[in-house]
Structure 1
Amino acid sequence: MPKSVHSERHRMIAAALASQRRAKGLSQAEVARALGRHQPFVANIESGERRVDLVELMDIAKIIDLDVVALVRDLQGSTD
């Protein structure tokens, strides 16, 4: 089993976060500020360099208005 940081599902999470952030017209710096973090934190998640845990995912999703349940459903449909 490959490490999850390199899995297709992890890439799907990172892509969904980046796509939804952009769709909401938010910069990485704005999301980071709302989280009380620095911009590289968000950049590293979106690039796949850093794994996002469930609590972080929920916090980010709230800021960018991402439907986490729908994302999980998409992930469940992935075979990786």
Structure 2
Amino acid sequence: MPPSIHHPRYQALQAHLKDLRKAAGLTQVELAERMSLGQSYLSKIERGERYIDVLLYLDWCRACGAEPDAAIKALEAAGA
């Protein structure tokens, strides 16, 4: 069974996603446009109201100019 959205590891992922977006200098609207998503959907992911799958994670990283491997290693280093 996957961890709850409220699990600390998942919360670390949510914070990481938001940090990636901000480090790229993107607003939620700009990132949503790059990913062909609605801003509200993206916001719900950042707030922990929606899960993110690995494919969307890859798209998120790429849209922010981040290497997915490096992003995963950063999460692991943070203890997630």
Q: TM-score range by the shorter chain?
A: 0.7 to 0.9
Change (3 A) 1:12 1:67: farther
- Contiguous gaps of at least 5 residues in structure 1: none
Greater share of helix: 1
Superposition RMSD in Å? 2.2
Q: Percent identity?
A: 29
- The CA distance in 2 between the partners of 1:77 and 1:19, in whole Å, is 13
Separation (CA, whole Å) in 2 of partners of 1:55 and 1:2:
16
Aligned pairs for 1:1-80 (under 5 A) are 3-73=3-73, 74-75=75-76, 78=79
Q: After TM superposition, where is structure 1 displaced by more than 2 Å over at least 4 residues in a row?
A: 1-4, 65-79
What TM-score, normalized by structure 2, do the two folds share? Answer: 0.81
Give me the whole-angstrom Cα distance separating, in 1, the residues matched to 2:6 and 2:70: 21
Query: Structure 2: 5+ residue runs without aligned partners?
Result: none
TM norm structure 1: 0.81
